[in-house]
Structure 1
């Protein structure tokens, strides 16, 4: 290579090296500058978060009444502005009985710091950060929800809403002044009080930071409770008032004025936690009636009969336990046998030819009518005793006067705080008679006075809320729900199975050999039916797994086939009905579970059918040859009635605290 060529190569090499150096330097400067700007932006945002956290702390002092005003300096880190119209919050009652305007419907306002596409804001008592199409929470708002899982506690929402008002412009310091505060709920003048009795409470926030609000609501309540609406940049959290269901403490708990337990029908008990019905059968099958009871028919109650009102018996019925009435006890219809004790906070009436074979304590009078009455057990009464012909073969102690009948046989002792009024009659008295004696001890009557009425109000709101929630969010996709609605669960089709989840059906009707299994191995199963439930034609329903099955229906139940639980459990299947539902367990069907329709007046168990569990509602008919076997494991269990399946609420405390914002 010539010297000239070598010289040219050297020059070219130097130029190339310089080019590489310049290019590298330029790249470093470009990349480094971008990184520096990114660091600067993040630093500004972090400083803004610190500033807004200071705003949060100071405004809380003012909003909660600890200070009249507070001033926050931005420390030269930029300027914050007040947007009084930013965000809106609505708190309202929802449900079939919800009326009137919202509890709260107001703008929230926000103090905002904006820089390089990022906004940090104080709104509603919390600090939020928005940018790149998303928002997050920096510090939580004043939304305080307590699940109420502890003993004696109730689910409670406390929400002091902070609403910013004023005309502050872009400033390096802001002053926050205490403004008017009003109690939105409870509000006595508006007739709004705690505890809440029904329906739901919906809190809706419409805001640039709605997704941050949504994330916070989910952490405080329940994911099923929160709904996000991107179209209008809002989030709603729905808290449902739990219908105050009673523990299932009886075989039958009814409000029906007439409960017919016909001859040959049986009401008894067993304990599925210890074994099957056959191995643990007992006599704790109590019946509770929530108002005056007229009993027509026969049958045997192996347990207590408790009536929160007057009792009128007829047609023959045996109660192997106690008969307790918070009112009068009228046995004039005949054929009523009480094996243990009769207690009434009222009068006792005995009919012609009737027999009283159990001790009786009543707060009022004892009146015999029709003659031929036999009293073969001690009687204690707070008032008079008016006799007819017959026999008193046991002691009587009354707080008033005793009126014997002509020819009446009195073989026991009679003690009256008043007089023995035999001036015009001639009874046959073999016992001792004491007049002006001590008043009787009526302590036993407290058992009637202290009857705790079960909550037998309708659960229509709870069922309606369940239906609405399941219609909006369910696990139907990929399940057998569609086949169940089409009736394709047997014959040429495979049997249907529903696993852990919530399902929404327009109806549940099985027939012609269909078969349905609830597989609760992975968790409970909830089926919400906006229509009727019917099983017939040899179409069984069974459960596998240890968890529960809850069926909610707006229509009627017609059960003609077996619904079978695991190990005879009476607490595994729960059927919920409304006040307009008709519930019928037909002849030959065995149902293991709870029928829960407390506002209903038409629940019947037809001849040959058997229920293993319990019934709450208007039991109109338990026919001859049927049986209701109470599973005593239900004594401390309550129905699953929280509307919508989300978080419950019983107490609500909402205030609106206005804060004036001025340039500082």
Structure 2
């Protein structure tokens, strides 16, 4: 009986203990669930405070528990490093702070805009609600956004409220040498130190696809994301034309940056790249503020201004012509011959001129840099009132004597002249530096020349010619004229293997047979090679979209018939297109109509099996992109036709055209976006026409010209396109890729009620 009583007592105690523990566990779980719900409300409320839509919020009821505000717990470091190793510290050990609730061995925390949970005695932590870190594609340029909420100060209690203290834009910002778009090859490094570091690592992996690294001893997690375009193709030029191009009559090209277009000629950018010849010809002073690159020859007449490099190809002896008031502000280079003429006006080259072939004419010209001629200057070339402020390098013969069909009248070289072949000079040529020749002979025909002459061959100073300086030759020097000292009693010496006419030498004569070298012709520069991108045709992409959208479209989300109609369906009320993919037979917008693409949360893709004709206003709303895939032509030929996008971000309106089709932008239309119509191996590129009455393009054009770009038409290149792959291809591997980075920190501070 006693034993039975003891067993009953023992069992009763066990039931009480186990049952009590289970009840306590259930109570803790219930409390934690309630706290989790309260913290999610706090998360939403603090997001409102961070955005500025609310001024102050309170911690929701936590029941019997209390909230601890710990402003010194957790930190984040973000650094951008470019391919050269230059760092931009975006945030450096920025305290994140946290709000925590503890129940038993479980801890719930709000940190950085997310909610995390952790069990005591372990390093493991879990994500309850992820911070609002966004990684998304915006027109082919993936964007990583980190809007961080930072908790300041410390406090404990049930009645705690938070108010916004301030918000800072951490990237991009003026104090950082790097900016958006992130340069190719850069690395973005993000490190979080936190008791919940493993949960942060889970967030980074889910958002970016990158595998983070962990330092468990320091409670740290790091993720690195490399900037890679994923393709060699990016939209680097304002104009990318696959055949010969002409720009006339006050047309112009410049660029703008991330803030959107401001004013005409604001930025020096906007390259013109042509697979063929380039002609810029106008009395209206067309201005190109980027580079001009062409695989063929060039023609620049009247008053063109080119602010970037001019890089021309062409076959040997294919002649590039420059005439009148043409002005080139950067290096000018051509693989062929060069002819420069005046009348009226005089060409000016602000930098070096590099010619792969011959100079066939040069008149009324100023070159403020060096002149490099890979060929030569023959005796039938007209040289008239030319100034070269630098040196002259000639790979062949320079015949400066007036004994052929050409004329010689005032060539001033303020530096040295160096040739790799024979050299002849006369009184109309003024060399203020040295005369250097690796050829067989230097011949001084007439005039007085205050210069030293060095030759690997012979030197002949003809009767009536005077050299004020020293003459040094590896061969024979014949002095039928005079070699005299300078006004400062220097020079006048002749050093050679053999000297004839010694009596005409005022200084010393040395027949020791000198070794002559270092004549400078080795510094002769080769012309730059024109680099013309080869873009992939959009044809296959358009066909693929047509096949996909024909069986899977979102046409039910909008009034498709209004978009396809030629009538005034989109006025006075605008037609609205929400996110989705659409299959249309045509797309029309009449004058006075408005079409709103509501690209707020997702991109919009439209396949048009026919013509796109927009004469009204198109608004691209939100932050995502619109992509039009058309099998027909694209036309904006009315002054009321306009594409409107916040900050003129051209990558957010992409128009893809099949090879052989046509695009027209004319009569004052205002296009913001990219017209993309390269050809294929068997089909020519789309023809693009940009003309008439202040037609404006903000973005870029890829195709071939329908006719001259003329009559005050202006193209403003969006510099952000330089990081955009036009076909939105992913990198070859599965790693993340960031084109744009946006980081903000919003500080909120607790106040006890």
TM-score by length of structure 1 reads 0.45
Bigger strand share: 2
Higher relative contact order (CA 8 A, sep 6+): 1
TM-score by length of structure 2 reads 0.41
